[in-house]
Amino acid sequence: MHPSSMRIKKSVGAMVATEPFWLRALLIGAAYLIIGALILVPIVYVFVQAFAEGWTGYINNLVRDKDTLHSIWLTLSVAPLAVLFNTVLGIAAAWCLTRFKFPGRTLLVTLLDVPFAISPVVVGLMFLMLFGMQGFFGPTLQQWGVKIVFAWPGLVLATTFVTLPFVARELIPLMESLGDEEEVAAVSLGANPWQLFWRITLPNIKWGLVYGMIQCNARAIGEFGAVYVISGHIAGETDTMPLRVEKLFQEYNNPGSFAVASLLTLMALGTLLGKYVLELWIARQIASHQSDVEGT
Amino acid sequence: MFLLAGCGSGNAPAPVTTGAAPANATTPENKAPEGAPTNAPAAGKDVELLNVSYDPTRELWKDLNAAYAPVYAKETGGTINIKQSHGGSGPQARAIIDGLEADVATLALWPDTNQLHKKGLIKEGWENALPNRSLPYTSTIVFVVRKGNPKGIKDWPDLVKPDVQIITPNPKTSGNGKMSLLAGWGSVILNGGTEDQAKAYITQLYKQVPILDTGARGATTTFAQKGQGDVHLTWESEAHLEVEEAKGELEIVIPPQSILAEPHIAVVDSNVDRKGTRAAAESYLKFLYTPEGQDIIAKHYYRPTSPEALAKHADRFPQIKIFTITDISKSWDEAQAKFFADGGLFDQIYNK
């Protein structure tokens, strides 16, 4: 999706130049003002609050509080697990939906978007209803000694569900546009399914995949609603970073709360940077690919 | 005792396969209270307990847990790690029922704890399982106003003056919320008002509540940190904490009359028996009744139930006319059905 949008950027730029200067200045100025007021000011405010007690206070708020430290660790393990599951699921779903024609295929594509459509709170409740002690599987799971809700598996499950569409949504249009000629050729030359995937499909989709994973990760780190319902609010056990931010704020620990919030913000900015670098990289790949094509 | 320990380490699923099994397994333990305080915690040397409580007790339990750890270490030679979970009293009870493995439930109101009993998690007679009807402390509902009390709020009738905005949590989910409503109701009924007058008063009161948070602490944040509203109806303990944190921006107003809140504590029988943590859980809750526990309770402005502790900290707790739930309703169950159930009084007045 994004490579094509980048390709048309050039022509759009050419059109803008026909507008009078004052109009351009006005519109661009307004854009900066709005983005500054809506995005930059709150972000700066988070950091100002976080550093209210200076550098040492900031570090202490993050590492001296063992519940906060645990929340950081928990988020840094729950989010990658969710990304991992969704990468596997996303590739499988995209493969299945773009390489095979079967009845109900369109319905399946629509169903993939369900996690985006449902409120995260409902997702949390849904899992609580399924795996809680009042729910369908809860009593059996307890007999087996398996904890899902109010424990980290529930957090992973809820986060995975909420971020399910990211990778698949990125891959489906990409794989559709790529077509299956190369794969058919590989199979006709005797490639087995593993060779087919590792040597043909994966190299073709890798940037789309990484892009999807980055988006999935950003959303997984920030997830609040679903995990709020399913966490049980146990400090030092099931509080992820977003939950910890709320808890510290409610416990009058503003610097602590904003310290965790600033760390979340940094993670988000890091993700954005990763996405930006990736987009540049893809644009360059496309450019060099095009010049290759023109050269031959 | 031995049998339990064996089950815990060896074939763990055995005692929980049927509903009857845990009951059998626990009887020997219950029948031997003389052995419990010393032997039992020693059996599981390092113990982890989960205390599921209501919203504003975070600081109280943090202090109590820190004070109890050395006591436990001295008694048993082991270490104890107590985890805390806080939220609106109703949802917290619900979470325990849904499988949150609380060893002890320290909820705001009797109906919430009794809900655990109704679902079979807590045994019959739980209310008398610990001293003083399982009440280490009581509390009441007071007002917090902005500096200088600009709206002149002194008593319950002042709340419904025009242009007063009230902050209090949702009575459907919060113990604080329920108590605020019942206290307001009682202020009419017990001063010669009729049911209709009480209903009119409560209707007006909730018309002046712009935001209903799910738990007490959420409402505190709304009032104190986000600056919404003119008066905050909250727990006495929460009011003091809030005013201290606000550094002169807020003031407490103690109304001449308010309601008695009884936050019962209970060991969650089905969980401690499955986890083998009964002895530690019981010893933990009994610590609340010791002079040390009662002092910490008083320090956080919860009214200690031991007469000695209350006398010692009398200066912290102004005398006010306190009425109980039975002064305005036959029982908690009846009050729950009348005021807070679906289609009950609160639904009738708030949805209008």
Segment A81-124, tens digit of pLDDT? 999 999 999 999 998 888 888 888 888 888 888 998 899 999 99
**Complex confidence, ipTM:** 0.78
Interface residue B275 vs chain A (CB under 8 A): no
Interface residue B36 vs chain A (CB under 8 A): no
Cα-only R_g, chain A: 23
Domain count, chain B: 2
Residues comprising chain A, all counted = 296
Q: Note down the domain range covering B144.
A: 139-261+320-350
Interface residue B98 vs chain A (CB under 8 A): yes
Say if B170 falls within a structural domain. Answer: yes
| Nearest neighbour of A132 by CB, restricted to B99, B225, B245 | B99
Output the six-digit token pair for A88. 């596997």
Note the pLDDT of residue A294. 59
pLDDT band at A264 (very low <50, low <70, confident <90, very high): very high
Which whole number is the average pLDDT over B150-157?
92
Domain identity same for B284 and B244: no
Computed over every residue of chain A, the mean pLDDT equals 86
At how many degrees (to 10) do helices B20-30 and B2-9 cross? 140
| Nearest neighbour of A143 by CB, restricted to B17, B52, B100 | B17
More confident residue, B65 or A60: B65
Segment A19-45, tens digit of pLDDT? 788 888 999 999 999 988 888 888 899
Domain identity same for B208 and B344: yes
Q: Which residues of B touch A230 (CB under 8 A)?
A: none
Domain identity same for B280 and B209: no
Output the six-digit token pair for A268. 């988000």
Segment B115-146, tens digit of pLDDT? 999 999 999 999 999 999 999 999 999 999 99
Domain identity same for B57 and B181: no
Domain identity same for B129 and B143: no
In this structure, of A147-161, A214-228, A275-289, B189-203, the range with the lowest mean pLDDT score is: A275-289
Note the pLDDT of residue B296. 95
Segment B80-105, tens digit of pLDDT? 999 999 988 888 999 999 999 999 99
Say if B302 falls within a structural domain. Answer: no
Note the pLDDT of residue B34. 39
More confident residue, B154 or A191: B154
**B100, B241, B275: best mutation site toward chain A, by most A Cβ within 10 Å?**
B100
**Phi-psi group of A40: left, alpha or beta (phi > 0 → left; psi -120 to 50 → alpha; rest → beta):** alpha
Measure the CA–CA gap between B222 and B229, rounded to whole angstroms. 8
Domain identity same for B125 and B160: no
Note the pLDDT of residue B39. 40
Cα three-residue angle B238-B108-A246, rounded to 5 degrees: 55
Say if B275 falls within a structural domain. Answer: yes
Domain identity same for B247 and B276: no
Segment A197-213, tens digit of pLDDT? 888 888 888 888 998 99
Residues 226-265 of chain B with CB under 8 A from chain A are 241, 245
Q: Which residues of A touch B52 (CB under 8 A)?
A: 232
pLDDT band at A193 (very low <50, low <70, confident <90, very high): confident
Residue B13: φ, ψ to 5°? -65, -25
Q: Which residues of B touch A235 (CB under 8 A)?
A: 83-85
- Asked if residue B182 has pLDDT above 80, the reply is yes
Output the six-digit token pair for A38. 């809506």
- Asked if residue B310 has pLDDT above 50, the reply is yes
Say if B306 falls within a structural domain. Answer: no
Note the pLDDT of residue A152. 92
Say if B343 falls within a structural domain. Answer: yes
Note the pLDDT of residue B215. 85
Measure the CA–CA gap between A294 and B100, rounded to whole angstroms. 64
- Asked if residue A12 has pLDDT above 60, the reply is no
Which whole number is the average pLDDT over B18-30?
38
In CATH terms, A66-295 corresponds, of 3.20.20.70, 3.30.479.10, 3.40.50.720, 1.10.3720.10, to 1.10.3720.10
Output the six-digit token pair for A178. 């790529």
Domain identity same for B112 and B217: no
Domain identity same for B184 and B45: no
| Nearest neighbour of B100 by CB, restricted to A135, A150, A250 | A150
**A140, A251, A254: best mutation site toward chain B, by most B Cβ within 10 Å?**
A251
Say if B315 falls within a structural domain. Answer: no
More confident residue, B151 or B44: B151
Question: For residue B163, what is the domain's CATH number?
Answer: 3.40.190.10
Domain identity same for B161 and B123: no
Question: What's chain B look like in SS3?
Answer: CHHHHHHHHCCCCHHHCCCHHHHHHHHHHHCCCCCHHHHHHHHCCCEEEEEEEEHHHHHHHHHHHHHHHHHHHHHHCCCEEEEEEEECHHHHHHHHHCCCCCCEEECCCHHHHHHHHHCCCCCCCHHHCCHHHHCCEEEEEEEEEECCCCCCCCCHHHHHCCCCCEECCCCCCCHHHHHHHHHHHHHHHCCCCCHHHHHHHHHHHHHCCCCCCCCHHHHHHHHHHCCCCCEEEEEHHHHHHHHHHHCCCEEEECCCEEEEECCCCEECHHHHHHHCCHHHHHHHHHHCCCHHHHHHHHHCCCEECCHHHHHHCHHHCCCCEEECHHHHCCCHHHHHHHHHCCCCHHHHHHCC
pTM, full prediction:
0.80
Output the six-digit token pair for B215. 């738990």
Please state, for a pLDDT cut of 70, what percent of chain B lies above it: 87
Computed over every residue of chain B, the mean pLDDT equals 85
Note the pLDDT of residue A4. 46
More confident residue, B19 or A154: A154
pLDDT band at B312 (very low <50, low <70, confident <90, very high): very high
Domain identity same for B94 and B222: no
Interface residue B17 vs chain A (CB under 8 A): yes
Segment A228-237, tens digit of pLDDT? 999 989 988 8
Is B99 close to A138, i.e. CB distance below 8 A?
A: yes
Say if B303 falls within a structural domain. Answer: no
Please identify which residue in the block is written with the tokens 């928990």. A74
Note the pLDDT of residue A150. 92
SS3 A234: strand
Say if B296 falls within a structural domain. Answer: no
Domain identity same for B55 and B29: yes
